[in-house]
Amino acid sequence: MSGTAAAAGGKAARRWGLPLAGIALLILYPLVLPLLFNANQARYWTLSIGSQSLILGIVALSLIFMSGYGGMVSLAQAALAGFAAYMVALMNLLPSTTATGGTIGLGLPSIPSAVIALVLATLAGALVGAIASRSSGIYFLMLTLAIAVGFFYVVLQNYQFLGGHIGFAGIVGPTGQPRQNPIAFYYLCLVVAGLAYVGLRYLVRTQLGLTFQGIRDNPRRMRALGYRVSLHRVAIFAIGGFVAGLSGVLGVWYRGNISPGVVDLSRTIDVLIIAVVGGLGYPIGAFVGAVAFLILDIFASSVTLFGFSFDERFNTLIGLAFVVIVIVAPHGLTGLVDRGWRAARRRFSSVGAPVAAAAADVPVENPMDAIAAPPIDPIDQRDPDSMGISR
Amino acid sequence: MTDFLTVCLNGVTLAALYFIVASGFTLIFGLLRTTNMAHGSLYVLGAYVGVSVVTITGSWWIGLLAGFVAVALIGIAIHLGLLSWMAGQDLRQALVTIGLSIIIADLLLAHYGGITYQIPPPDFVAGSISLPFVVGGQYSAYRLFMIVIAAALGGALWLILNRTRVGMYIRAGIDDRDMLSALGVNVSRVFLFVFALGAGLAGLSGVVGATALSISPGEDGRYLLSSLVVVIVGGMGSLGGAAIGALIIGLAEQIGLFYAPTYSIFITFVIMAAVLAVRPQGIMGRPA
């Protein structure tokens, strides 16, 4: 990280240039759209692409946080987001009696509903963590998947309090109907996503965040040092639950309703796809992946491959794209760009200047590498000396 | 009392199906350490193959065989084409199989549509048998026949694992792959055999399940879930564990459905959490 004083100014520009440009783009995005498109199209790009990719990005961010800094690839994140959405509905809707006799709805305003839902989502995350952190590695993936699918069946079966297969409708957020005020809703999503992103990036630099990474790299050593490993894993889960809850709250405000379809297996897998396509090792990859996912969703109808139209076969297309990414680019799209960028800089930079800081996003450990290496018990017996190597 | 016995019998017959589904999953995991997230999709694929073949040939047994063979061949293709290139990278393998499961489910939806199919059972178990202690005194012969299939399959797998040379290789491979390879055994061929067998069992269970219940898109998630829960409770990679796990989950599900219909899934998860709290590796699992 050393550089001469003369180079420092240029370095700072390079360090901050890209992020600042990105922030400016995100802020100006909904304001520029009306200049390019008619009102309907502008609203579509603001909401269906802009807001939705931020919402999906936040839940993918929670997964990337947990896998990158906690070493735990959790498939329960979509379910936790859905849990928060259900809680918002139960708090926000006016009291009523369901067909099977249960009384639901507290009629709270939208913001208190969201706060309560977030607290509950954090607790639910901790509970999932308390169950799931008993296992590790690939068992962990299976366990969280089982919890996620189980949650889907819970909401599907329960008509008494959770609305069964119909769910709830008529939930309105603080900015009103997104369709009537798309720009306000977009900025709400942007602020929440920005706070979640910056907050997590800050958190991982604190002592707690470093402890998380220590546990990710070598739980045994951390245990020997006196840290309570399972408690920290529960804490990671609670944080992951909170961030996923943010996405769930925004999501229910976006759609105005909540039903089991929002927490089904395909949604769970969508979140995983977004995180992996974006790049599991890069926090910003969550949003890159979400944008890529939605763009692919929109343009799938116009893709024809070997005479096979993907008009109604979006899942086949996304599945193929996912498999290809996992095979050829395990670090996702962000990893591809990051590595290409660094290789280009290495080739064209005049002296061997340190280029690691140039990237907009500092890569964290990619769990794809970590879990890939040891064939048995990937987490607990991970390379005992890896702590000595600074990343 | 007859209520309870009927519910228990339903639970045991469901457990038989769960065991057949989960046995392939746990076999693959035990040796290859591959988490085949496409297992539920392979189940559905086998079921649809069974539907088509039984419709054409009219023979349930040919349908069963076709379900096994077709899905085993797909399994060979998946293993040779994708998974064997990333041996030992279990997260990557899990992700690839998740991608495959999406593709398989979507292509099946494209071909078979959203209709629910059911395969007619073979003639000799088509009707019902009179049982004195169940509700109505009659019970589906086919559901009882599933217990026979599960027991026969369990026995056959036990014989393969414990009484044949391949089985010896498989057991040795579970303990120490490198040493087995060093002894001159073609480990990758053993792996391929096990993956094909495990996938084939998923296909076979699809035919068995589509006869007892029915098959429609979306069932893949249900059977992936049941396989996951069964092996998590029973212990990864253990056939006996799969049997015990299937019994516990099958019974819990049916008893829950009868006595607390909207909360039955909770019972399953409370059991899973309780088992994990006491034995994180599952009932029959070995400590990792």
**Shortest CA gap A284–chain B (Å):** 20
Q: What local confidence, expressed as pLDDT, does residue A271 receive?
A: 92
All residues at 6 or more sequence positions from A378 whose CB lies less than 8 Å from its CB, including other chains: A136, A137, A138, A370, A371, B90, B91
Q: What local confidence, expressed as pLDDT, does residue A355 receive?
A: 45
Packed helices B60-81 and B39-57: angle between N→C axes, nearest 10 degrees = 140
- Binary contact (A146, B265; C-beta < 8 A): no
**Structure tokens belonging to residue A165:** 């297969």
In the block, which residue shows the tokens 């709270």?
A: A108
Print pLDDT tens along chain A (391 aa). Answer: 444 555 566 666 667 777 888 888 888 888 888 788 887 888 888 888 889 999 999 999 999 999 888 888 889 999 999 999 999 999 888 877 766 666 777 878 888 899 999 999 999 999 999 888 777 777 788 888 888 888 888 888 877 778 778 888 888 888 888 888 888 899 999 999 999 999 999 998 999 999 999 988 888 899 999 999 889 999 999 999 999 999 999 999 999 889 888 888 888 888 998 999 898 888 898 999 999 988 888 777 666 666 666 667 778 888 888 898 888 888 888 888 888 888 888 887 655 444 444 444 555 555 555 444 333 333 333 333 333 333 2
For residue range B27-52, what is the model confidence (pLDDT) as tens digits?
888 877 888 889 999 999 999 999 99
d(CA A101, CA A87): 19
Q: Which helix (H) or strand (E) holds A169?
A: strand A168-169
State the total domains in chain B.
1
Mark B160-194 as b/e (b = at least 16 C-beta within 10 Å): ebeeeeebebbebbbeebeebeeeebebeebbbbb
Contacts of A378 in chain B (CB under 8 A): 90-91
Instruction: Specify if B120 maps to a domain.
Output: yes
**Structure tokens belonging to residue A356:** 């690691």
Q: Which helix (H) or strand (E) holds A104?
A: strand A103-104
With the C-alpha atoms ordered A279, A282, A286, A291, is the resulting torsion angle positive or negative? negative
Instruction: Specify if B132 maps to a domain.
Output: yes
Q: Are A347 and B135 in contact (CB under 8 A)?
A: no
Contacts of B268 in chain A (CB under 8 A): 150
Please state the domain extents for chain A.
36-275
Instruction: Specify if B97 maps to a domain.
Output: yes
For chain B, percent of residues with pLDDT exceeding 70: 99
Shortest CA distance from A330: residue in chain B: B92
Beta-bridge mates of residue A257: A169
Q: Which of B39, B85, B98 should one mutate to test binding to chain A, selecting the residue with the greatest count of A CBs within 10 A?
A: B98
According to the 3-state scheme, what is the secondary structure of A352-372? Answer: CCCCHHHCCCCCCCCHHHHHH
The three-state secondary structure class of B215 is: strand
Closest by Cβ to A372, choosing from B89, B266, B288: B89
- Binary contact (B33, A320; C-beta < 8 A): no
Q: Is A11 exposed, middle or buried (0-12, 13-18, 19+ CB in 10 A)?
A: middle
The three-state secondary structure class of A384 is: coil
Shortest CA distance from A380: residue in chain B: B288
Instruction: Specify if B26 maps to a domain.
Output: yes
Domain that holds residue B49: 19-219
For residue range B116-158, what is the model confidence (pLDDT) as tens digits?
888 888 888 887 888 777 777 788 888 889 999 999 999 999 9
- Binary contact (B103, A319; C-beta < 8 A): yes
Residue type, A161: F
Q: Is A95 exposed, middle or buried (0-12, 13-18, 19+ CB in 10 A)?
A: exposed
Shortest CA distance from A146: residue in chain B: B225
Query: Is residue A371 less than 8 Å (CB to CB) from chain B?
Result: yes
All residues at 6 or more sequence positions from B175 whose CB lies less than 8 Å from its CB, including other chains: none
Q: Is B218 exposed, middle or buried (0-12, 13-18, 19+ CB in 10 A)?
A: middle
Residue type, A59: V
d(CA A157, CA A151): 10
| 8-state DSSP, B85 | G
Contacts of A289 in chain B (CB under 8 A): none
Which of B193, B199, B149 has its CA nearest to residue B49?
B199
d(CA B246, CA B244): 5
Q: What is the pTM of this model?
A: 0.82
Which of B145, B180, B168 has its CA nearest to residue B61?
B145
Tell me the backbone φ, ψ of residue A25, rounded to 5 degrees.
-60, -45
Q: Which of A133, A308, A311, A315 should one mutate to test binding to chain B, selecting the residue with the greatest count of B CBs within 10 A?
A: A315
Query: Is residue A271 less than 8 Å (CB to CB) from chain B?
Result: no
Q: Which of A98, A100, A138 should one mutate to test binding to chain B, selecting the residue with the greatest count of B CBs within 10 A?
A: A138
Please report the number of interchain residue pairs, chain A to chain B, with beta-carbon separation below 8 angstroms: 143
